[in-house]
Structure formats: C-alpha cells, structure tokens
Structure 1
Amino acid sequence: MRALKKPRPPADVSPAGQDARTWRKTEEEFLAGLATAANRAAYARTTFDSMEKRKLRAVMYREQGELCVYCERRVGEGHPTPRIDHWRPLSAAPEFALHWKNLYLSCATDSTCDVHKHESPLKAELADPDLPWPVDHAYERCVGFTSLGEVYVRSDAPLNEAQRRALVLALGVPHDDEVKDNGVLNLNHPKLVAARIAALDSERTKMERQYKGKTATRDEREACKAALLGEEPLQEFVSIRTRWLDRSLGKAR
C-alpha cells in the first residue's frame, strides 16, 4: 500500500453507442437521484454498474502504476481483469459510489484484497471513521515489511489510535504457513509472503550484478530506489523492494 495521485477521472464514462457523459455530470445526477432513492445501496450499485468500466480502468492503470492498491500485484495488460474496489464499501457508504477518490483497482485473486474484503469497512469499530483514502495518506510511511516478506504496521506510523487499529485489522498479522485467512485484506497470505521474498531476491541479484561484489553506498541505494519509483509501470511489490534498498526492513517475528 502506497500513497497515490488521482488527478482526474475519465472524460467520458458512457458505454459505446450512448451519448457521452462526463464523470462530474454523472456524479451530480447520481447524488440528486440518491437523495430520493428508496434503496440507496441498490440505486448506487445500478448506477455504478451502468458505467463503462473499461474507460475507468484505463485511467486507473496509470494512476496506480498497474499495481493492486492493496498487495501490489500486477494488474495491467496480460493479467486478469482487476476489480474496481470501493475503498468505503458501496453498501455502507452509497454516497461515495461515484466519488473518484473512493475507487481503486484491486487484483482479482480470491483469497486477498478486494475479493476478501468484499463489503467490510476498513475500520476497527463501526463508530470509527474509515481509513483515509490513499490519495490523502502516505501509507508507505505506515506499512513495514520483514526480511521474510511479512507485512505489518510500523511503530512510527503517522496514525491515530483508531487508524492504527483499523490498519492492523486490515493487513493481518504475520503468521506461519498454516494460517491462510487473516485480516480484512489478508495481506500476510502465504502466497503473498512468498512473492515478496521473490521480489527481494530479485533486487539482491540485480544489485550484485550492478556492483559486482562491492557494497553500494547509501547514495547509490537511494538512486536505485528513486529509479524504481520512477518506472512506468511500477514493478510488482515495489514497496518491499524500496524498503530493502533503504535498509528499513523489520525483524521477522
């Protein structure tokens, strides 16, 4: 999970053959109709499903560097079509069904991320506010990784207590291979942990080849980190790669 920028929604969200509709106009009409809808969640779902998802994804691929907003698997061309996730669930917050800041691409796997989250809110208690959107919070400062590929909430994360509880609940705690269902997003699933270790091995191999047995300086590692973050699209599991480059991986439990 990382902070993201969402500059602007697609200019036209109508299916082929229909009159063009801007995102802003569609959202304005939706909110007007929502005010009198008998079933707000059903109305929100019907309106959202009427939009041309291909046009939404085309913009969101670029915004997210072709990575899942949660686990950072690849979601670009040649991969299963990603889901468009409502960060604040549509059923609980139908007023945000077409709010651009509330929509993110999530991988299509059946054991983690949006499929696992489904309609669960990203909060510890129902009275708490939802976790901030990635466009409003620097999650790369909150999420840490161990050298064994596990994800956890950093002790120095810029979060209040309610947000910390919610993020811990969302990520799931580090665990052994026997635990395969952990947390709202289940980001410590064994397959994800193994994939992160493979990403670390890839970075080590690349550095060994580049520096041929020499130890890279801090400035050289920072340059490699900046280069990684500047790639388009981003490499899978870019966050654990950059954590390794700046030597800030946590200790495995």
Structure 2
Amino acid sequence: MIDSVKIQVKAGAGGDGLVSFQREAHNPQGGPSGGDGGGGGDVVICSSKNIKTLSKFTKKRHFTGENGMKGGTTKKRGSHGDNMTILVPIGTEVRFKLDGKTNVVDLDSEGKQTTVAKGGRGGIGNARYVSPTNQEPLLAESGEQGQTKKINLELKLLADVGLIGMPNAGKSSLLRSVSSARPRVANYPFTTLEPNLGTVTFKNQEFVMVDIPGLIKSAHKGVGLGHAFLKHVQRTRILIHVVDGTANDIPSKIFDINEEIKLFDKQ
C-alpha cells in the first residue's frame, strides 16, 4: 500500500490586462476599453470516499491549475481559470508550507478540502489606468504567476475496528473469517507487511475492520517498520488485541504491545 507521497502543484497564472481603444462609427473617440485579465485557477485537495489509496500518485506527481484568460475589449474581464481539484482518500493528511510555517490539514471526512496553492491575480487593463493627466493610457498589467508548492500526502487508514498484536498471532486469519477480505495467511512471522481492510456485515449493519501488521518491541522507535504500522492505529475506534493462545508468557506480550502504542501516541 502506498501511504505516503510527495507531489508538486502549480496554480494557474492570471490573464494579462488588455490595451484597447473603443473605435466605432458613432463614437470614433470612445477612449480606452481594455479589460482586466481573469484570475488563475487554484489547486485544491479534496477527500473522496471513492478513492481508497494514494497509488495513483506514483504515475502522476505534478498538477497545474488553469490559467486565466486575457482581458477583452469593451472592458470585458477575462474568464477565470478552472481550479485543479485533486481527490485523495478520506484520512489523508496534507502538509505544505504556508507563510514559512508547515501547515497540516487532516481530511478526515467526506468532501473536506483545502486550497494548497492560490492562482495568480489577473492583470489590469488600460481602461483602469485613465487619469486626469492621461486620458489614453497605453499601459496594461501582466497577470501574476500562480503559487508553486511541494505537498506531502500521508494516508492514515480510517477503520471502526483495528486488529493488533505480535507477528503471527492470527490477525489475518481472524479478518478472513469475519469479512470478505483475503489477506495472505502463512505460519511464519511478518506474513502481513501492509494493513488489510475488510468489511464485516452483522445484523444488516456494516463496519470496517483493519488488520495491522505485527508489532514488535521498540516499534514506537521505528523498529520493524513500526512507525509505518502504528500510525494506522490512531484512526481506529476500537482496538482488538489478538493473542496466540499457545505462545509462552502471554501477559508480557500483551503488555509490550500496549506499551508500544502508548509510547508512540501518548494521547
């Protein structure tokens, strides 16, 4: 599962203002009429229940908003560029720089969104440069460039129930038995190397269960890919501790897992 990616976004540039003069048969000295350029499109990141992973970003990592259109004659403003909307799974954290500081937005519900790059302002046309001392300005403003940002996307799975425990404790077998998920099952540790999601149906109701890969001592320090696994525990409503009943010293194994979770996230 791809659960962390970096992408680059560029908002659209603003359209240029226009230098134009109204010249008509009934009004040969109509004066300046150049319109303003339209604003560039923003780049927006939005959560969607129809997107399940970040895997699509391995093929495409650059996204651009549409440029604004140039100003028109008779003081017409150029069209605004369309926003670029990037869809991500619910549970995605978006990190980007804003005014020199790291901004983190948690897209933890359907349709939640954040603007990560603002489109450039459209340039001013010559009609707006008219002054008492300059009745026929030959000046128009260029549109501003849109913002460019590097964005980090990190997916933390959202689930109702999380299965935790030591490697080879039977978590994947339990998920297979109660849901339609078919995780790989084998009689050796670390068979599961990424979280598996399954939908459990009970009395006409459904809930999502996730099988978290096996945790080991010092997982909170990143040992055994601990950070990659433990972050998914943060979003589950209920944790079920799965223990191999044939193992030695069961109480200490339960204590070790609980301690790793507590040390990783003290909240």
TM-score range (shorter-chain normalised) is under 0.3
Higher relative helix content: 1
Higher relative strand content: 2
Query: Over alpha carbons, which structure has the higher Rg?
Result: 2
TM-score normalised by length of structure 1: 0.25
